[in-house]
Structure 1
Amino acid sequence: MRYAVSIPPFTDARTVLELGREAERAGWDGVFLWDHVQWSPGMPVHDPWVLLGALAQLTERALLGTLVTPVTRRRPTTLAKQVTTLDHLSDGRAVLGVGLGEPRDLDFADLGDEADPRVRGAMLDESLDVLDRLWRGPTDHAGDHYTVRADFRPRPVQQPRPRVWVAGVVPNRKPLRRARRWDGVVPIGTDGDLTPDALADYLALVPPGEDQREDWDVVAHWARGVPAQEYADAGATWLVISAWPTEDGWVEGLRQGIRHALD
């Protein structure tokens, strides 16, 4: 089992960096950031990729990435460059978490971006294919949503590419099917963190195929008080703690979790 912290970058930018540095010093294996433009009216929201570049210089061991990036809000060519640059800054520690994203109004429709989840699902699948090809070598792609002709240099440090984890809201099968084609799944509960039994039930909805890689990850949010071994028995390979940023004192609460959850 590996352990990670998922930080909403919805506070002072330096505070986000301090939390990430503290997490590595406390023994956490990964530091991930939420990826939003707007999340709640009046809430400050920082760009995760700028912060991740800074964290790459402040850390040495922890994996770094997003949980999760709504790929349809970003050009796949730009995202490919961002992930590759992070991979170089961190000496091969970049991970990309992807998903459809929420809230549908503030983060999509209000910004003039596609809000229909079905269309965004098709765009996500095409974007992932483009990203994979851009990281591997010369790309000549003409699809329903994107046209790309490129040969991006440098390639990522990780070969053939950084890991891609796909998020999905339980009990939807489609995101799990999508995740089975990539490197891992990030199941999201609708009413809080999943129990180990709920996690196992969800994974059973779409059994792994013959082509699924052996080191496929299951990135579960860790419900308070539940032993890590129960999640491992349910299939989890990562446990993640985070915070709900509308709650009073969420920054200090997350800091305390970083300091003590692994005790």
Structure 2
Amino acid sequence: MKFGIAIPNCHGDYADIHLAAEVAHEAEEAGWDGFFVWDHIGDKWGDEVLDPWIMLTAAAMRTQRVKLGTMVTPVTRRRPWKLAREVATLDQLSNGRMILGVGSGGGVEYVNYHEPGEPKTYGERMDEALEILSLLWSGERISYEGKYYQIDNVRHLPRPVQQPRVPIWVGGVWPNQKPMRRAARWDGVCPIGKDVNMTGQMTPEQAHACFSYVTAQQTAEQAAQPFTKVQWGILEGKDRGHDAALVSAYEEVGTNWWIENLSWERGTLQELRPYIQQGPPR
């Protein structure tokens, strides 16, 4: 089991870039395996928002080992070629530690900024964008003619350190099946349960059902490749034995990455530092 933490890029001291970078360093020192950030540009939670790519850049400069990534990037709000450059550059900077968590997005930060497209098209747009990302990271000269995106005779260098691509983990709300079918085609799935709030989590039974469905959508070739199954989790941080037993219950149903969901609902980032510093319950 790998263990990561995910923090918001918005609201209160979570929007303190210096503190966020220091927490990334502390997480690595404490034995966490990943440091992830939300990707919002302006949302219902307030006006204090950091750019996630600058956050990850700061984290990359303060760490040597932990994986770094977004949980999750709303791909349809990004130009895929710009996103490809950002992620590849961070993968170079971090010596191959980037992970791209993706989702279809929506909500007020689409509406208020008059982002193009209708919500019903976001899934199709994301499928095209993910294909473009993978093609651009190949380092080959490509052209692409899609319904939503077009590219003519371009080549992106340098390539990411990780090949054939930076891992793409697909987020979605379980039991919705479309995002899970999409996840089966890529490198991992990070589901959240329907109506689960920021201090709750899917049960082991729900996680098992989700992972079983994703696996059933994969070809034999896809199923033979490494695949990440994320539990967007909540540990108490008080009784290590209890936390270890809880993690074990999820590991038994296939979870191989536990990402601790930290937010202002559980405290300020400053208040949560002692919890982070004690490390994961291995």
TM-score of the superposition, structure 1-length normalised?
0.93
**Amino acid across the alignment from 1:29:** D
Q: Is structure 2 residue 23 aligned with structure 1 residue 6?
A: no
2:121 corresponds in structure 1 to: 119
Tell me if structure 2 keeps the 8 A contact 1:33–1:67.
yes
Tell me if structure 1 keeps the 8 A contact 2:75–2:126.
yes
Distance 1:214 1:41 in 2: 38
1:97 corresponds in structure 2 to: 101
1:30 corresponds in structure 2 to: 34
Q: 1:184 aligns with which of 175, 184, 188?
A: 188
Q: 1:166 aligns with which of 163, 166, 170?
A: 170
Distance 2:134 2:27 in 1: 30
Q: Is structure 2 residue 247 aligned with structure 1 residue 228?
A: yes
Distance 1:243 1:117 in 2: 28
Give the Å deviation of 1:253.
4.5
Tell me if structure 2 keeps the 8 A contact 1:21–1:59.
yes
Q: 2:148 aligns with which of 137, 141, 145?
A: 145
Give the Å deviation of 1:56.
1.1
**Amino acid across the alignment from 1:89:** L
Q: Is structure 2 residue 179 aligned with structure 1 residue 175?
A: yes
Q: Is structure 2 residue 225 aligned with structure 1 residue 214?
A: yes
Give the Å deviation of 1:80.
0.3
**Amino acid across the alignment from 2:186:** W
Distance 1:182 1:205 in 2: 14
1:63 corresponds in structure 2 to: 67
TM-score of the superposition, structure 2-length normalised?
0.87
1:44 corresponds in structure 2 to: 48
Give the Å deviation of 1:117.
2.8
Give the Å deviation of 1:38.
1.1
1:205 corresponds in structure 2 to: 213
1:84 corresponds in structure 2 to: 88
Tell me if structure 1 keeps the 8 A contact 2:22–2:62.
no
Instruction: Return 27-36 or 107-116, whichever deviates more.
Output: 107-116
Distance 2:134 2:184 in 1: 15
Tell me if structure 2 keeps the 8 A contact 1:194–1:223.
no
Question: How many equivalent pairs are there?
Answer: 260
Shift of the 109–236 alpha-carbon distance from structure 1 to 2, 3 Å rule, reads: same
Shift of the 175–110 alpha-carbon distance from structure 1 to 2, 3 Å rule, reads: same
Tell me if structure 2 keeps the 8 A contact 1:243–1:250.
no
1:157 corresponds in structure 2 to: 161
Q: Is structure 2 residue 269 aligned with structure 1 residue 259?
A: no
- Partner SS, residue 227 of structure 1: helix
Unaligned runs of 5+ in 1: none
Tell me if structure 1 keeps the 8 A contact 2:35–2:66.
yes
Distance 1:99 1:261 in 2: 28
Distance 1:78 1:201 in 2: 36
Give the Å deviation of 1:198.
1.0
